[in-house]
């Protein structure tokens, strides 16, 4: 959707007229006007007040410094010393050198006025920073592609919000307070109110909701991210939120999920058909062929499980625990306690995950035929971890059998062993060791964990083009 924000005038705020840059002529005019007014006031009140030649100049110096800068304020201090001493210190209007008491009075005034200039300069800089911050905020609102708006801590709208009327057709003040919720779909209202207890780890609240669109008169999907503005004590005093039109993205995601579901369904059917054709085509009374078919169908199942995990959300990385559990599921139907699986959540590229799935299936098949799973008391423990090493991570997976017959090291490397070694063959620093210990096989698969791949940017196709 195009930017729906109303045009924001780039004029600076009212404070800018006070602290903005001024020409030399403007500063001289401010200096002359300020001192003239202060002098006039002092002359007027001079009838009632004796002494205090400089008291009425303090406000003028403060105003001059704030409006024209510290240089002009410093000049005002010097000029005030001469004006006050000449007009209001006896003998008045004469070029007489001040007495010691008068010099002390002048020095005290100059020190206090200088401090006032410094204070006014600090106030001026503070106002300038606030004005710059407001200008950046206005420009940010102007260039953002969504609606930026604010509410109080309870979620009530207290001021007109940029873009809301254009999107919803509801004018201010008809959406004031919580009446803005009337433009939100009834199913989304309860969870849309800001809640400081629902902030994520990054400190903002994010959600998707449907908003009544003024043009189409239908519901349109928006994404919102709300950030709390807190008081010094930590209490939320307001919320600032951005709302972005995600309707087309949402619809594309829904279409993708439909296509993806159909792809998964077709893939499962394809593997089923291949398995059925293989079983129905085998010759009778051929044990070697039966063994071959069982291995083939098992490996197809492992590939199917890995592919199904990859296609859950067009992922280019899969969680290794999900691959392992899906691969070992058929071996855990009768007695799941005989196989223990443990390890943290680790994502690997889908090619690596698929290769590990094949290796785990091969190890489980071998354990079922010859190893720990071939006897009732046998058990298998499978665990994995990542070991930090000099700025990289080493992935290590251990397959350990126990309670079964003592394994015998084969005289030559068969295809199953090559499948296990293939799990790490293409990885950096890949290594596979097979240790035929007396109490059962110990297999260790290790390699340097590859960096996480970016999300795939795949186009959504129609079912007719699949």
pTM equals: 0.43
Eight-state DSSP code of residue 204: -
Binned at pLDDT 50, 70 and 90, residue 79 comes out as very high
Q: What is the pLDDT of residues 80-105, one digit of tens each?
A: 998 888 888 888 777 778 888 888 98
Question: Coil, helix or strand for 452?
Answer: coil
Binned at pLDDT 50, 70 and 90, residue 332 comes out as confident
Least confident of 25-39, 68-82, 241-255, 444-458: 444-458
For the chain, the C-alpha Rg in angstroms (whole number) is 40
Contact 150, 241 (CB under 8 A): yes
Q: Which domains does the chain have, with CATH numbers?
A: 16-142 (no CATH), 146-245 (3.30.450.20), 251-448 (3.30.565.10)
Binned at pLDDT 50, 70 and 90, residue 50 comes out as low
Q: What is the pLDDT of residue 462?
A: 34
Binned at pLDDT 50, 70 and 90, residue 6 comes out as very low
C-alpha distances (whole Å) from 450 to each of 105, 354, 432, 433 are 78, 15, 17, 20
Contact 324, 382 (CB under 8 A): yes
Q: How far apart, in whole angstroms, are the C-alpha atoms of residue 117 and residue 24?
A: 19
Q: What is the pLDDT of residue 358?
A: 81
Instruction: State yes or no: pLDDT of 195 exceeds 60.
Output: yes
Q: How far apart, in whole angstroms, are the C-alpha atoms of residue 304 and residue 272?
A: 10
Q: What is the pLDDT of residues 238-258, one digit of tens each?
A: 888 888 888 888 887 777 766
Q: How far apart, in whole angstroms, are the C-alpha atoms of residue 239 and residue 230?
A: 9
Give residue for tokens 């008809």: 174
Binned at pLDDT 50, 70 and 90, residue 262 comes out as low
Binned at pLDDT 50, 70 and 90, residue 433 comes out as very high
Q: For the chain, give percent helix, strand, coil, nearest 5.
A: 50, 20, 30
Tokens in use for 402?
Answer: 């126990």
Q: What is the pLDDT of residue 401?
A: 95
Q: At what angle do helices 320-328 and 287-310 cross, to 10 degrees?
A: 150
Phi, psi (deg, nearest 5) at residue 203: 90, 20
Q: What is the pLDDT of residue 146?
A: 65
Q: How far apart, in whole angstroms, are the C-alpha atoms of residue 7 and residue 350?
A: 47
Contacts with 89 (C-beta within 8 Å, 6 or more apart), sequence order: 53, 98, 102, 105
Alpha helices in 69-177 (DSSP H): 70-88, 100-143, 164-168
Q: What is the pLDDT of residues 118-155, one digit of tens each?
A: 999 998 888 888 777 766 766 665 555 567 788 888 88
Positive/negative CA dihedral, 208, 209, 213, 216 = positive
Q: What is the pLDDT of residues 101-117, one digit of tens each?
A: 888 988 999 999 999 99
Q: Are strands 339-342 and 379-389 parallel, antiparallel or unpaired?
A: parallel
Instruction: State yes or no: pLDDT of 463 exceeds 50.
Output: no
* 208 strand-pairing partners: 223
Q: What is the pLDDT of residue 29?
A: 93
């Amino acid at each position: 959707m195009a930017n729906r924000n109303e045009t924001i005038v780039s004029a600076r705020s009212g404070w800018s007229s006070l602290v903005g840059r001024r020409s030399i002529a403007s500063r001289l005019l401010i200096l002359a006007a300020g001192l003239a007014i202060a002098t006039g006031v002092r002359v007027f009140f001079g009838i009632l007040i004796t002494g205090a030649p400089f008291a009425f100049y303090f406000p003028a110096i403060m105003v001059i410094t704030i409006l024209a800068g510290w240089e002009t304020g410093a000049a005002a201090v010097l000029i005030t010393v001469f004006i006050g001493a000449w007009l209001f210190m006896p003998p008045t209007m004469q070029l007489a050198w001040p007495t010691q008491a008068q010099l002390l009075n002048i020095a005290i005034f100059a020190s206090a006025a200088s401090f006032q200039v410094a204070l006014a300069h600090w106030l001026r800089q503070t106002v300038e920073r606030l004005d710059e911050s407001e200008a950046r905020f206005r420009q940010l609102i102007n260039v953002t592609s969504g609606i930026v708006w604010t509410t109080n801590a309870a979620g009530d709208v207290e001021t007109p919000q940029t873009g809301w009327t254009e999107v919803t057709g509801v004018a201010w003040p008809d959406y004031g307070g919580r009446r803005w919720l009337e433009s939100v779909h009834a199913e989304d209202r309860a969870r849309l109110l800001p809640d400081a207890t629902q902030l994520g780890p990054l400190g903002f609240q994010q959600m998707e909701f449907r908003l009544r669109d003024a043009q189409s008169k239908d519901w349109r999907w928006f994404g919102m991210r709300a950030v709390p503005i807190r008081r010094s004590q930590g209490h939320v005093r307001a919320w600032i939120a951005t709302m972005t039109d995600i309707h087309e993205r949402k619809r594309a995601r829904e279409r993708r999920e439909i296509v993806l579901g159909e792809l998964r369904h077709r893939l499962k059917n394809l593997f089923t058909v291949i398995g059925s054709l293989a079983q129905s085509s085998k010759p009778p009374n051929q044990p070697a062929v039966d063994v071959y078919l069982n291995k083939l169908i098992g490996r197809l199942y492992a590939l199917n499980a890995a592919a199904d995990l990859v296609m859950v959300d067009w992922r280019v990385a899969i969680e290794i625990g999900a691959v392992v559990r899906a691969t070992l599921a058929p071996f855990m139907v009768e007695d799941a306690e005989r196989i223990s699986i443990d390890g943290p959540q680790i994502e690997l590229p889908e090619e690596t995950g698929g290769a590990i799935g094949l290796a785990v299936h091969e190890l489980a098949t071998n354990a079922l035929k010859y190893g720990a799973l071939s006897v009732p008391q046998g058990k298998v423990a499978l665990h994995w971890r990542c070991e930090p090493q000099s700025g990289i991570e080493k992935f290590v997976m251990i397959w350990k059998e126990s309670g079964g017959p003592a394994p015998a090291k084969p005289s030559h490397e068969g295809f199953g062993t090559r499948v296990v070694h293939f799990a790490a063959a293409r990885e950096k620093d890949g290594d596979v060791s097979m240790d035929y210990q007396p109490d059962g096989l110990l297999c260790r698969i290790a390699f340097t964990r590859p960096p996480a791949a970016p999300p795939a940017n795949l186009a959504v196709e129609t079912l007719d083009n699949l």
